C-alpha cells in the first residue's frame, strides 16, 4: 500500500532528471502514471520517445501502471490531448506535476528574442496549458456533484524567487510560475484542487552544465544531496490525499532539507495623506529601506 494508491498522475518532462524521479516515486506509492517527455536534446532538437518509454518500462517491470506521452505541453491543444489520454486510459486524473523546462543561459545584455520566447513558452505555457485542461475536467466533476481531491504541483526555482545571474529569461519564467501557483490555489480551492510549487536544487541536465562543481556526484556511500530522488518524496506527498489542507505554498527542497519560501509581503509604509512632491520622496524611501528586511541576494551576485 502506498500513499497514492489508485491516483492518476501526469508528470511532464519525466524522461530524465527530476521528472523521472517523480514518476518512479509516484508509481512506487501506487499511482498510475502518464510519463510525458519529448525526449529532446537540451537545445530542443532530436525528439525521441526513448526516455519516456524507458521510464514506463521501469514502472511496468516493478509491477506498476504507466503510459508514455510525447505531447508538447506548451501547445494548448496537445496539452489537452495529454490530459484526455490520462482520463481515457486510467479513468480519471488526480494530479498534474508540471516539471518540463529548458534553459538558455546568457547575460541579460546579450540575450536574444528567440531565447526569451523559447524559455517562456516551455515554462509558462508548459505549466499553464496542462493545468488549465486538468482544471476544466475537475470543475466539470465538481459541478456534477462528484468529489474532487486533486493537485497541481508546479516547478519554480530559486532563480525564480531570488533571481540568478546569466539566467534572466529562466528567472522571469520561474517567477511567473510561482505567481501562477498563488492564483491557481486561490481560484481552484473551492472545487477541491490544491496548487503548490517547488523550488528544488538537484542534479539535472540543466544544472549540471550551469553549476558543475555544486552538482558533482559524491563518493560512493556518502549522502548525495544533489540526487533528484531527494526531491520526489515531497512531490509524492503533495500529490497524495494527505496534503489536502496545503495550498498556495512554494517549497524549497535540497538534499534532506524541506523549507517553505516566504515571498513578497506588505512591508513598511508611510502615508502622507496627500499627494507627494517628488523632492519629498527620497528621505521617506530611505527611512522605509532602513525598516525593511534586506532582500536575499541574487544567485551568483558578488
For residue 201, the SS3 value is strand
Cα angle: 118, vertex 121, 127; to 5 degrees: 140
Please give the positions annotated as active site. Answer: 157, 170, 174
- DSSP secondary structure of 108-134: GGG--HHHHHHHHIIIIIHHHHHHHHH
Q: Is the dihedral of CA 19, 130, 177, 151 positive or negative?
A: negative
Is the dihedral angle over the CA atoms 130, 72, 171, 41 positive or is it negative? positive
Take residue 259 and report the three cell numbers written for it: 523549507
What phi-psi label fits residue 16: left (phi over 0), alpha (psi between -120 and 50 degrees) or beta? beta
DSSP string, 137-170: HHHHHHHTT----EEEEEE--HHHHH-BTTBHHH
Residue written as cell 560512493? 220
What are the grid coordinates assigned to 37, written together?
Answer: 517527455
Q: What is the dihedral of CA 220, 199, 80, 134, to 10 degrees?
A: 110
Contacts of 283 (CB under 8 A, 6+ apart): none
Amino acid at each position: 500500500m502506498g500513499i497514492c494508491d489508485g491516483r492518476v498522475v501526469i508528470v511532464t518532462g519525466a524522461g530524465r532528471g527530476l521528472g523521472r524521479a517523480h514518476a518512479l516515486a509516484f508509481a512506487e506509492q501506487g499511482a498510475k502514471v502518464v510519463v510525458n517527455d519529448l525526449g529532446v536534446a537540451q537545445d530542443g532538437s532530436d525528439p525521441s520517445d526513448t526516455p519516456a518509454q524507458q521510464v514506463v518500462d521501469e514502472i511496468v517491470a516493478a509491477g506498476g501502471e504507466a503510459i508514455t506521452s510525447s505531447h508538447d505541453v506548451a501547445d494548448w491543444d496537445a496539452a489537452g490531448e495529454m490530459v484526455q489520454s490520462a482520463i481515457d486510459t486510467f479513468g480519471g486524473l488526480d494530479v498534474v506535476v508540471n516539471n518540463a523546462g529548458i534553459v538558455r543561459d546568457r547575460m541579460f545584455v546579450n540575450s536574444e528574442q528567440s531565447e526569451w520566447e523559447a524559455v517562456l513558452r516551455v515554462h509558462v505555457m508548459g505549466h499553464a496549458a496542462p493545468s488549465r485542461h486538468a482544471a476544466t475536467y475537475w470543475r466539470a466533476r465538481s459541478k456534477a456533484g462528484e468529489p474532487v481531491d486533486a493537485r497541481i504541483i508546479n516547478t519554480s526555482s530559486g532563480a525564480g524567487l531570488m533571481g540568478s545571474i546569466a539566467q534572466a529569461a529562466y528567472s522571469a519564467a520561474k517567477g511567473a510560475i510561482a505567481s501562477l501557483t498563488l492564483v491557481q490555489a486561490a481560484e481552484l480551492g473551492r472545487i477541491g484542487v490544491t496548487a503548490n510549487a517547488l523550488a528544488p536544487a538537484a542534479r539535472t541536465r540543466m544544472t549540471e552544465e550551469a553549476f558543475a562543481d555544486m552538482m558533482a556526484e559524491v563518493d560512493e556511500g556518502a549522502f548525495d544531496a544533489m540526487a533528484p530522488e531527494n526531491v520526489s518524496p515531497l512531490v509524492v506527498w503533495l500529490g497524495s490525499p494527505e496534503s489536502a489542507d496545503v495550498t498556495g505554498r512554494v517549497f524549497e527542497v535540497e538534499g534532506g532539507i524541506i523549507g517553505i519560501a516566504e515571498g513578497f509581503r506588505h512591508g513598511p509604509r508611510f502615508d502622507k495623506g496627500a499627494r507627494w512632491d517628488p523632492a519629498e520622496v527620497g528621505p521617506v524611501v530611505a527611512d522605509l529601506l532602513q525598516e525593511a528586511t534586506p532582500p536575499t541576494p541574487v544567485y551568483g551576485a558578488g
